[in-house]
Structure 1
Amino acid sequence: MMRDSVFNCCVSPPHPPGGVEEPQQRSRAQAPPPNDRRFLIFFDFDETLVDECSDDSMVTVAPGGVLPGWLKDTYRPGRYNEYMQRVLAYLAEQGVTPVAIRGTVEKLPPCPGIATLMHFLLSQPSRDFEVICVSDANMVFIETWLQHLGFHPLFLRIFTNPAHFDDNGQLQLRPFHSHECLRCPANMCKAVVVRQYVAQRVRERGGRPYQKVLYVGDGANDFCPSLTLSPGDIAFPRCDFPMHKLIQEMEEAKPGEFKASVVPWNSGEDVINTLRKILERP
């Protein structure tokens, strides 16, 4: 977690090996992305789109609905991705099928108002919003859930940990990338993803920036990418969740250091209200 040092996180980390455009992270085929969108909006997944941690939901398909103590004891801070690889291997050994895993993910409830927000974005003219998911969950969980609810077409890209079911039915999970940010999990620094994606897209747009970059999240690892936002951009932290508290702490300790506007949300409808306002402006 990052609470031990709020302000030393990801503001200018060195570039990690590789860029964000790994083939596994493309949510669609290699069609060129549209370059006429006015706004770029990023969404986290766990506790932002879905109202719980998708990894935690896997406990419900374990025998007896619990994980054995010896397995839970293998967790190490900052190494959750490696821990989940062991959890998924254990589930496969216990005979938990891909159907059971997908079915559990499909049942994850959306956060309050998120379905309304997704439908709002789907209803907007195509030139308005370029929508991206950046998450420390995994590709199978995210795509399964988005497809089940019909929201997958909205997302131009999904940046998350690669995952696939192997021939034995085990969900194989890999880290997204390596990085040098000391405050983020070893497998993903979202600030690196957001910074590199924005820079790449602006180049592809002939140097034309977006009118605004927006970030909707909840967790401590969503605080990092919110620091990459510029004045005029908007951070949407979920009320009273770690991202919100870290922003508040920074604003109290270093007024003006956090550059973006901050709009806390309890419901996706809070986000819609702000989006309606920016759409009304020329």
Structure 2
Amino acid sequence: MFKFILWLILIQSTVQKTLVVMDFDHTIVEKNIIQLLTDMLPKDKLPVETKESFLKTFSFIPHTQLFFKKVHELKVTEQKMLQLIENQPPIDEMDKVLRILHHQNCDIVIISNSYSVFVESWLRFRSLRHMVNRIFTNPAWFDSTGLLHVKGYHFQSKCRLSPSNLCKRSVMEFFLKYQRFQGISYNKIIYIGDGKNDMCAALSLKENDLLFPRVGFLLHSMLSNITRRIKPKIFPWTNGSNIINILQTNKL
């Protein structure tokens, strides 16, 4: 009887909200730091095998660290790398998407296979950091010499849709459990992403949720070819205006 009463108290005291989960690279901004550096540096300065490894699997942390070591040897400074990120504009009206969702009192989290120092720097430079409740990404920091160090967010070997350093479904489920413990639950999840590593989280969404895959990117093509039924409502997007219009139509 006591457990039942406690359960009723917890249910009554739980706040119901909307959760927004967003990627960063190719969702909020167009390019990741490795692509920006590769575009900037002379083509003959980066080893071919390193460059190809990164353009294909830039989430692979040991290779990423070798890449940043080479960048450091080429005298690319911390300030220069942060400027590259900060000067990159948001994908058309994606900053407006963040502002609208924040104004609607949604909780916003970023789950990204990017690097913490760059996600934080870009959001602060654009005066958007206070709108994001949590950032889940690979830890990264500059040492006293200006060398960037990176670590995987975690290690996992169960999810074949995700790199070993980040399963977004696992992170999202952890956050949902943590929030329930804090007395907050979500009656709707809005998931906005683009890549293969968003697929695992997308498959865990429910009927009341909204899924926004970016047109022309891997998540969208994977969803187009999937044979099993996926539960959330799916809304392909190419820019922030698409997302805003759909959210207004669905009366968020």
Q: Same fold (TM over 0.5)?
A: yes
1:170 aligns with 2:142: no
Is this contact kept in 2: 1:55–1:137, CA < 8 A? no
Q: Which structure carries more relative contact order (alpha carbon 8 Å, separation 6+)?
A: 1
CA–CA distance in 1 between the matches of 2:207 and 2:191?
A: 13
Match of residue 270 from structure 1: 242
Does structure 2 conserve the Cα–Cα contact (< 8 Å) formed by 1:218 and 1:238?
yes
Q: Is 1:50 matched with 2:29?
A: yes
Q: Name the counterpart of 2:117.
A: 140
Matched, 1:195 2:170: no
1:59 is aligned to 38
> Which residue of structure 1 aligns with residue 74 of structure 2?
94
Instruction: Give the partner amino acid of 2:191.
Output: Y
| 5+ residue gaps, structure 1 | 1-34
Secondary structure in 1 matching 2:176: helix
The alpha-carbon deviation at position 191 of structure 1 amounts to 1.1
C-alpha displacement of 1:261: 0.9
The farther-off stretch of 112-121 and 42-51 is: 112-121
Q: Contact conserved, 2:142 with 2:149, CA < 8 A, in 1?
A: yes
Report the equivalent of 1:230: 206
Distance 1:68 1:191 in 2: 34
Once residues 48 and 119 of structure 1 are traced to their aligned partners in structure 2, the CA distance between those partners, rounded to angstroms, is 15
Amino acid at match of 1:163: A
Report percent identity of matched pairs: 28
Structure with max Cα Rg: 2
How many residue pairs were aligned?
A: 237
Match of 2:220 among 244, 249, 255: 244
Tell me: CA distance 1:138–1:267, structure 2 relative to 1, closer, same or farther (3 Å): same
1:9 is matched with: none
Match of 1:30 in 2: none
RMSD of the alignment, in Å? 2.2
SS in 2 for 1:89: helix
* Structure 2: gaps spanning 5 or more residues: 1-13
Distance 1:140 1:45 in 2: 13
- CA-CA distance at 1:274 after TM superposition: 2.8
- Post-superposition Cα deviations, 1:108-157, rounded to whole Å, max 9, x if no partner, equal 231122122123234x15xx200000000100111111111111111010
The yes-or-no answer on 1:83 pairing with 2:63 is yes
Return closer, same or farther for 1:36/1:78 CA change in 2, 3 Å cut-off.
same
- Pairing 1:97-176 to 2, within 5 Å after superposition: 97-122=77-102, 124-125=103-104, 128-176=105-153
Which residue identity does 1:114 align to in structure 2?
A: M
3-state SS in 2 of match to 1:240? coil
Give the secondary structure class of the aligned counterpart of 2:33: coil
- CA distance in structure 2 between the partners assigned to 1:217 and 1:260 by the alignment: 14
Report SS of the residue matched to 1:55.
helix
Per-residue CA deviation, residues 57-94 of structure 1 (Å, 9 max, x unaligned), is 12244356852325336668586222211111111122
Measured at CA, do residues 229 and 106 of structure 1 come closer, stay the same or move farther in structure 2, by a change above 3 Å?
A: same
Q: Give distance in 2, aligned partners of 1:108 and 1:47.
A: 12
Number of the residue aligned with 2:3: none
**Which letter does structure 2 place at the counterpart of 1:220?**
K
